[in-house]
Structure 1
Amino acid sequence: MIGLTFSWGLNGVAAKLANTGYDPIFVSIARSAIGGALVLVWCMLRGIRLFDRDGTLFAGVVAGLLFGGEFVLIFIGLEYTTVARSSLLVNSMPFWVLIGAHFLLGEHMSARKWAGLVLAFAGVVLVFSDKLSLPSPDAITGDILSLGAGILWALTTLVIKRSKLASAKPEKVLLYQLAVSAAATMPLLGIAGPAIRDANLVATGALMFQAVYVVAFTYVVWFWLMARYPAAGLSSFAFLTPAFGVLCGGVILGEPLSWRIFAALALIAAGLIIVNRPSRAPTH
């Protein structure tokens, strides 16, 4: 899980580097298409059945559209803001899931979870209030897009939880998201400029890192872990993703990191830990 969360934190750096050579929407399409093809090959080699009629088509299309919108917002947002700020805002997702589950799924939250939400929200406010790490006056646009991506990620999770996708094979759920997002995003190609800007080695390597390693490898490893270990234990590692995202942005890209960014990271991490901490069983 430490390796996976580091990879996901590094993914923001890879996305920003890929944007130097390719249009962000092209990156989103290529990432989903290449990764999806590799996952499909994996399923064929493992004999995983994908095309049985199980009533998941409609929910799968909706999840794919949300997934595609999420990554379009992330990649375009990284044109304006830093990896650190984007990582913190995108990874506010668990808190939007909790709010949605409270009102849409009837999963009422305890006072402890509300306290975690308050801490996390304070962290998000702190990110927006930090002026020292702003790369430009337009960074607020990227911040808003990144926050929107986190909300779309949460909506994707809620769609999966409320539909038959919850009982479908995880590889099938992933392929729905990759295939639909690639197809649905195709008409948007070109709105952010030419698909190919400067197809240099670094940008191409960063794109392939996302498609082959992050999508086709780490997501499958994540599903493997989910099938073998308690979800609560795995989710407790979630705060490491924005932590690694902040550090990778600063170390690799030389992004300015003010004390507010680290304070925001601490607040969001504390909120995640509080929310994911399992409730104690009643004693008799």
Structure 2
Amino acid sequence: MRGGALPPRALGLMLLLCLVWGLNLVAMKLGNQGIPPVLQAGLRSSIAALLLIAWCRWRSIGFGLWRRDGTLGPGVLAGLLFAVEFIALYVGVGLTTASRAVVFLYGAPFFVALGAHWLIPDDRLTRAKAIGLLVAFGGLMLAFFEGLFAPAGERALLGDMLCLLAGALWGATTVLVKASALRRAPAMTVLLYQLAVSAPLLLIASPLMGEVWHVEPRPLVIGALIYQGAVIAGASYALWFWLVSQYSASRLAAFSVLTPIFGVLAGAVLLGEPLGHLFGAALALVVLGLWLVNRPARSAAPSAPRMR
């Protein structure tokens, strides 16, 4: 395990993940036009689980000694946290504005930093890392500043709290993977736990929350669902869990604030959505904050040799 600054390879992979996840925000909007949201999340996990099992069988990749390696308990818990996270997120987004939902959801890096500080010995919260997180989060708030003060409805506070809960569960899952036996398990095993547990739970929760099971078979809707299942819940999450097992969880999680930034850019390019007037300054703050988070810790100066 490496708790220091992220090397260029990890930085490049994390930027790729944030770009892919940012496009997922657009895919979710397109999918919601023909599939109820919690049902969409359940179908996404189901598709990803089937594809993961098929790919591992084709490549003759096993899932490790999951019956005896101590990962079953934390793996099931990770899947449960994953399912509740998305239920809270989808319900919360329906009660508040998208801008407020994004800001509260991406409080997740703070939960990761605090959990890692107490539970992961080589991933302590330093002063530079804390300042970097605050600066990056300030940039995120600036990017969505105009939407934060838009009318949000009478139940917006409940929606905000649910989105904050979703961020806390996201952070808790990341720390759980890093601080438990899951950190030694293959990334495919960690991912299968989440998918296999969350898929039935989300599919059961969908009708209980009043959703009607109906899928409009339009190309954009089906394409968005396949993208979420194969690329997001499949390939990108496998890469994410591998990164978490190898590098500092708090530094990796800090980079997730780039996801909504990329989402805004994707919305502007693909959906014609306008960029806010403060977007450039917001992006600069986010970059500065991430630089502070990932700056190598200063090593103590060597003491002068004593005269004999």
Shorter-chain-normalised TM-score: which range? 0.7 to 0.9
- Check if 1:68 corresponds to 2:83: yes
| Equivalent residues of 1:25, 1:192 under 8 A apart | no
Cα deviations across residues 137-175 of structure 1 (Å, max 9, x unaligned)? 476665544333222110001111221111111110011
Separation in 1, partners of 2:298, 2:120: 22
Q: What is the SS of the residue equivalent to 1:183?
A: helix
| Equivalent residues of 1:12, 1:87 under 8 A apart | no
In the alignment, structure 1 segments of 5+ residues that lack a partner are: none
| Equivalent residues of 1:4, 1:218 under 8 A apart | yes
Separation in 2, partners of 1:272, 1:131: 23
Q: Aligned match of 2:127 in 108, 111, 117? A: 111
- Check if 1:30 corresponds to 2:46: no
**Range that drifts further, 274-283 or 254-263:** 254-263
* 2:262 partner amino acid: F
Q: Which has the larger radius of gyration?
A: 2
Cα distance change, pair 116–263 in 1 and its aligned pair in 2 (3 A)? same
Cα distance change, pair 41–197 in 1 and its aligned pair in 2 (3 A)? closer
State the partner residue of 2:111.
Answer: 96
| Equivalent residues of 1:95, 1:117 under 8 A apart | yes
Structure 2 counterparts to residues 81-92 of structure 1, below 5 A? 86-87=101-102, 89-92=104-107
Shift of 1:38: 0.7
Q: What is the SS of the residue equivalent to 2:297?
A: coil
State the partner residue of 1:149.
Answer: 166
**Range that drifts further, 9-18 or 67-76:** 67-76
State the partner residue of 1:167.
Answer: 184
**Range that drifts further, 238-247 or 34-43:** 238-247
| Equivalent residues of 2:86, 2:166 under 8 A apart | yes
Q: How many residues align?
A: 282
| Equivalent residues of 2:142, 2:282 under 8 A apart | yes
Q: Identical aligned pairs, as a percentage?
A: 41
Normalised by the length of structure 1, the TM-score is 0.82
Cα deviations across residues 105-152 of structure 1 (Å, max 9, x unaligned)? 455422112212332454466577634784854766655443332221
Cα distance change, pair 125–85 in 1 and its aligned pair in 2 (3 A)? same
| Equivalent residues of 1:92, 1:120 under 8 A apart | no
**Range that drifts further, 254-263 or 187-196:** 254-263
- Check if 1:216 corresponds to 2:229: no
Cα deviations across residues 170-214 of structure 1 (Å, max 9, x unaligned)? 110011011111122232112142122644322221111110122
**Range that drifts further, 203-212 or 44-53:** 44-53
Normalised by the length of structure 2, the TM-score is 0.76
| Equivalent residues of 1:28, 1:75 under 8 A apart | no
Cα distance change, pair 110–32 in 1 and its aligned pair in 2 (3 A)? same
C-alpha root-mean-square deviation of aligned residues, in Å?
A: 3.4
Cα distance change, pair 173–124 in 1 and its aligned pair in 2 (3 A)? same
Q: What is the SS of the residue equivalent to 1:281?
A: coil
